[in-house]
A = this chain, B = another copy of it.
Amino acid sequence: MQHICRTKEAPFLRTLAIINGKWKFRILYELACETTLRYGELKRNLAPITHKMLSDQLKDLAADDMIVRHIYPEVPPRVDYSLSPKGLTFLPIMVALCDWGKEHTAPSKT
């Protein structure tokens, strides 16, 4: 009476490879909330994330086609990020994580 079949392990590991990383979920959540955010806005919202961390993780997510980077040919430079079509397909899972937390974890006091 197992709950998950072993044959699903490979796809599972591939999913983990994409979303593992301390900030991946946070970034995806931000973009899910705001639809599209500039680099600086992301950094502010995710403080105290560092410059390096944010750009590294954004690069990873873009490489995995979870988010799209939109570069405006302006000066000063302006870049913003939003969920890709593939990233959008991940939304139900994000919502599920929210709902699970609401159902099964206690709010912090005060």
Q: How many residues of A are in contact with the other chain, CB < 8 A?
A: 48
Chain A 69-109, CB-CB to B under 8 Å as 1, else 0, gives 00000000000000100101111111111111111111110
Cβ-defined contact, A32 with B3, below 8 A: yes
- Pick from B2, B11, B94, B106: contact of A98, CB below 8 A: B11
Tell me how many chains of this kind the complex includes. Answer: 2
Q: What is the CA–CA distance of A15 and B29 in the complex, to the nearest angstrom?
A: 13
Are B93 and A15 in contact, with the CB atoms below 8 A?
Answer: no
Asked, given contacts A3-B33, A29-B4, A32-B2, whether A15 binds B90 with beta carbons under 8 Å apart, the answer is no
A1 touches B35 (CB 8 A): yes
B4 near A102 with CB under 8 A, answer no
A12 touches B97 (CB 8 A): yes
Closest to A20 in B: B22
A18 within 8 A of B: yes
